[in-house]
Structure 1
Amino acid sequence: MNLDDLLAIDVHTHAEVSRNGHGSLSPELFEASATYFKAHPRPTIPEMAAYYRERRIAAVVFTVDAEHATGHPPIANEEVAESCAEHADVLIPFASIDPWRGRAGAREARRLVANYGVRGFKFHPSVQRFSPDDPMAYPLYEAIEELGVPALFHTGQTGIGAGVPGGGGIRLRYSNPMLLDDVAVDFPELRIVLAHPSFPWQDEALAVATHKPYVYIDLSGWSPKYFPPQLVRYANSLLKDKVLFGSDYPVITPDRWLADFDELEIKPEVRPLILKDNAARLLGLRG
């Protein structure tokens, strides 16, 4: 990967379909998500690579393993990693391990990093139906901390399950970023990314990221024109080295996100930090 040739690094994209057509979510949750976010294509990983290569943007790619909570088998982490390796000029593989797997999940994390080049791990507490501060997940966090790779957590409201009776069993409270403050205390060297503007807990996310040195915020899932003013203010100042560009592709395209970001009042010297430099440092792509 030639960093100097890249315009940006998108730290938040989803592999929604496997090479054999298996979806990352159940049909019911996919249907509800499509209604909430509007219908969108579900590209394969090679199609994602072509899309990002054309734009000279690198992308972190992951799926979500929530089989314990949903009963739906995930897209295999090995497939995500192998497909990303075939397009290593633009794609960066993350894995997702259901935290309910306990110590077996920790062993799996070590294997995926050692044998498949995985560069980080994705969690979705609301979909995976666990509280991030539950000690059940601690063996997995311990492994990730030892491996020196980041853990990215969905925070705030989610469109998944929106409109389904009972929200499809998804509890929003699990995605309060304040629950990750305990994780940052108990694993002080773990790099934690709070994904999305964390509605309705934006101030909590800013507080945790400001207080804990290895907690970051990605800006995915929202058009920048809807960012709350305090998020923009902190991104321009106290958190300028800890805020990351993310789109949530394919739900939101980087084309739309970047066009709206151009209109945001971000200092010229901060823009390259958010778009590429902070992510390159976090992911170990540049010292």
Structure 2
Amino acid sequence: MSSRYEIGIDPEAIVAFDVHTHVHKSVHAESQHEAGGNEEMGAYFGIGSMPHYSVPELADYYRERKMAACVFTVDSISLDGEEPEPANEEIAELAAEHNDVLIPFASIDPHRGAAGVRLARRLIEEYGVRGFKFHPNSQGFFPNDRLAYPLYEVIAEHGLVALFHSGQTGVGAGGTGGGGIRLKYSNPLHVDDVAVDFPDLDIILAHPSFPWQDEALSVANHKPRVHIDLSGWSPKYFPPQLVQYANSLLKKKVLFGSDFPVITPERWMADFEKLEVKPEVRPLILKENALRLFGLTKDDAKSTEKGA
């Protein structure tokens, strides 16, 4: 095993911090598309055949653009019966080799039960992962289901981040019966219970939360450690209330995320430039809020305050 991950990002060396990127390819895969799947996802986002990137390839991609990124896979073994590929361990090990631009998150399906909790603790203590990605739709659980609480306890104990997919998903979109994916699980209001029961846990609600945008804004406004990332949508499609809150009450709690590779950071940022966002708010969203969240600012206390 390579050395345990430690953050090596130089805040002055990056122009943006993408908190939401996917690893779809193991370094052991022979070609960019060998990882397979995701064709429906590519069609959903209008990009055709979706490319796959390994951790080193993602590191090169973001390093060239002077950006940092959080990287992760999604463990949905309770839905598809398959272990995530690449494995959490591979992602963490390789991120440690590219710690100047990458931060590794892990993903554990809560249905793994006690074995999943043991795995989470090992990934934190032996591999140094800095957060966990949950996808309630593809993992088939409500975030406030007590099934997941032992996982949250471990994450909160170590002061790490829990990132929850929220709103509609491209997973299974257009397939028969939506591929068995139930949208009800991703209403961000269910995360409100998690924020109450784990008040010291830093939470990110991923994506504009269609059709529950107002619920997401309410939770993030009410709960001091809940953030929103803007991944998975081009900024030109952001609902007006999201832009309004990002410019005001939530200006210190909104984060740049692309959902790469379904949306490239270039496309996202080009559309973001055209959005009516205050000049003083842009750097907060693009990198400063994320730097604060991961303790990389001069004041390394995590963001617990509400924007003025």
The 4+ residue runs of structure 1 with deviation greater than 6 A are: 22-26
Q: How does 1:114-153 map to 2 (within 5 A)?
A: 114-153=125-164
Tell me the distance in 2 between the aligned counterparts of 1:63 and 1:26: 12
Tell me the distance in 1 between the aligned counterparts of 2:65 and 2:237: 24
1:67 aligns with 2:77: yes
Q: Which residue of 2 aligns with 1:7?
A: 15
- Aligned counterpart in structure 1 of residue 98 of structure 2, from 65, 74, 87: 87
Tell me the distance in 1 between the aligned counterparts of 2:40 and 2:69: 25
Change beyond 3 A, Cα 1:129–1:235: same
Cα displacement (A) at 1:252:
0.2
* CA RMSD, Structure 1 to Structure 2 (Å): 1.6
Tell me the distance in 2 between the aligned counterparts of 1:149 and 1:114: 12
Q: Which residue of 1 aligns with 2:54?
A: 44
- Aligned counterpart in structure 2 of residue 178 of structure 1, from 176, 189, 200: 189
1:243 aligns with 2:254: yes
1:276 aligns with 2:287: yes
Q: How does 1:248-267 map to 2 (within 5 A)?
A: 248-267=259-278
Q: How does 1:101-250 map to 2 (within 5 A)?
A: 101-250=112-261
Change beyond 3 A, Cα 1:199–1:25: farther
Q: Which residue of 1 aligns with 2:68?
A: 58
Asked whether the 8 Å contact 1:24–1:63 carries over to 2, the reply is no
| 3-state SS in 1 of match to 2:126 | helix
Cα displacement (A) at 1:25:
11
1:30 aligns with 2:38: yes
Tell me the distance in 1 between the aligned counterparts of 2:33 and 2:205: 21
One-letter amino acid matched to 1:135: R
| 3-state SS in 2 of match to 1:116 | coil
One-letter amino acid matched to 2:290: A
Tell me the distance in 1 between the aligned counterparts of 2:165 and 2:34: 16
Cα displacement (A) at 1:276:
0.6
Tell me the distance in 2 between the aligned counterparts of 1:123 and 1:172: 14
Q: Percent same amino acid at aligned positions?
A: 66
Cα displacement (A) at 1:104:
2.4
Change beyond 3 A, Cα 1:149–1:53: same
| 3-state SS in 2 of match to 1:264 | coil
Cα displacement (A) at 1:26:
8.5
Change beyond 3 A, Cα 1:85–1:26: closer
Cα displacement (A) at 1:21:
2.4
Bigger mean CA offset, 9-18 vs 72-81: 72-81
Tell me the distance in 2 between the aligned counterparts of 1:216 and 1:184: 11
1:21 aligns with 2:29: yes
TM-score by length of 1: 0.96
One-letter amino acid matched to 1:277: E
Bigger mean CA offset, 40-49 vs 227-236: 40-49
| 3-state SS in 1 of match to 2:113 | helix
CA deviation profile, 1:95-118 (whole Å, cap 9, x unmatched):
001111223222222211111110
The answer for unaligned runs of 5 or more in structure 1 is: none
Bigger mean CA offset, 130-139 vs 108-117: 108-117
Tell me the distance in 2 between the aligned counterparts of 1:146 and 1:118: 13
Cα displacement (A) at 1:59:
0.6
Cα displacement (A) at 1:196:
0.1
Asked whether the 8 Å contact 2:29–2:35 carries over to 1, the reply is no
One-letter amino acid matched to 2:23: A
Q: Greater helix share, 1 or 2?
A: 1
One-letter amino acid matched to 1:94: F
TM-score by length of 2: 0.90
